[in-house]
Amino acid sequence: MTFLNQSKRQKLHEAIFEAETPLGKFFDILLIAAILASVTVVMLESVGSLDREYGKLFDLLEWIFTILFTLEYLARIASLKKPKFYIQSFYGIIDLLSVLPTYLSLLFTGTQALMVLRIMRLLRIFRVLKLVRFLSEANKLFNALRASMPKIIVFLVGVICINLIVGTLMYIVEGGENGFDSIPRSIYWAIVTMTTVGYGDIAPATVAGQTLASCIMILGYGIIAVPTGIVTSEIHLAKSKLISTEACPACGSEGHESDAKFCKFCGTKM
């Protein structure tokens, strides 16, 4: 599999996989630009009027991008000693899946199948997310999001339970009319309302319904403060408390602050 000599492979590896070196940075910026351009082409293709006029240009561009990304995919494999791990990894599969559709479009001709294939190219957007993550700002944000995810999820489960109950109540109150013609639809309305989105495609028309709607709106407006408070507190604590990972040599207790010189439980010097 290794059809490149040692030094060339290292050079290639540096350009493709490293983000710190000038060569690596240049390659990353080029890659993001190419991905964004190819994603834009896929999107514009979906606009009927543009596709009729510039359809051939879009096809051409798509082939150019596909060949570029195919070369990138092969280069990644060539630059690695053990390409198996890359090929089986999440990004390896994405890279392959986003390139395949254009080749498959030569074989298939059903329009429905083609549309799904075309859109698979949009998977490339995940690559951008990966590259952005190298930025330290994004990294902090990502960590904060991951740290607060369990609490946010529990909060959202609670919100969903409230929506189930309110949606059902609304179905009874509005008597299955004014768009509230089934419980799932009423729950959909409750979610639209409580998250303060408020399309207006379904809106209560009876007095009782509008009163109930007012309650859930005010509830939704008020409890947004709870996840916000918890996340803020979490982030703040993570920043301010520098808990050492060191265990006390005498009593084995953990959770000491990083500035502690003596174990706070047994008084032994640390």
Shortest Cβ 185–a copy of itself spacing (Å): 8
Q: Select from 7, 90, 110, 201 the one that contacts a copy of itself (CB under 8 A).
A: 201
Residue ranges in 59-98 that form contacts with a copy of itself under rule CB under 8 A: none
Task: Give the nearest distance from C-beta 27 to a copy of itself in angstroms.
Answer: 20
- Cβ-based nearer residue to a copy of itself, 35 or 99: 35
User: Closest distance between a copy of itself and the C-beta of residue 240, in Å?
Assistant: 8
Query: Minimum distance between the CB of residue 236 and a copy of itself, rounded to whole angstroms?
Result: 5
Q: Does 19 bind a copy of itself (CB under 8 A)?
A: no
Residue with Cβ nearer a copy of itself (15 or 263): 263
SS (H, E, C) the chain: CCCCCHHHHHHHHHHHHCCCCHHHHHHHHHHHHHHHHHHHHHHHHCCHHHHHHHHHHHHHHHHHHHHHHHHHHHHHHHHCCCHHHHHHCHHHHHHHHCCHHHHHCCCCCCHHHHHHHHHHHHHHHHHHHHHHCCCHHHHHHHHHHHHHHHHHHHHHHHHHHHHHHHHHHHHHHCCCCCCCCCHHHHHHHHHHHHCCCCCCCCCCCCHHHHHHHHHHHHHHHHHCHHHHHHHHHHHHHHHHCCECCCCCCCCCCCCCECCCCECCCCCCEC
Q: Pick out residues in 102-161 that bind a copy of itself (CB under 8 A).
A: 115-116, 119, 122, 125, 128-129, 132, 135, 137-138, 140-141, 144-145, 148, 150-152, 154-161
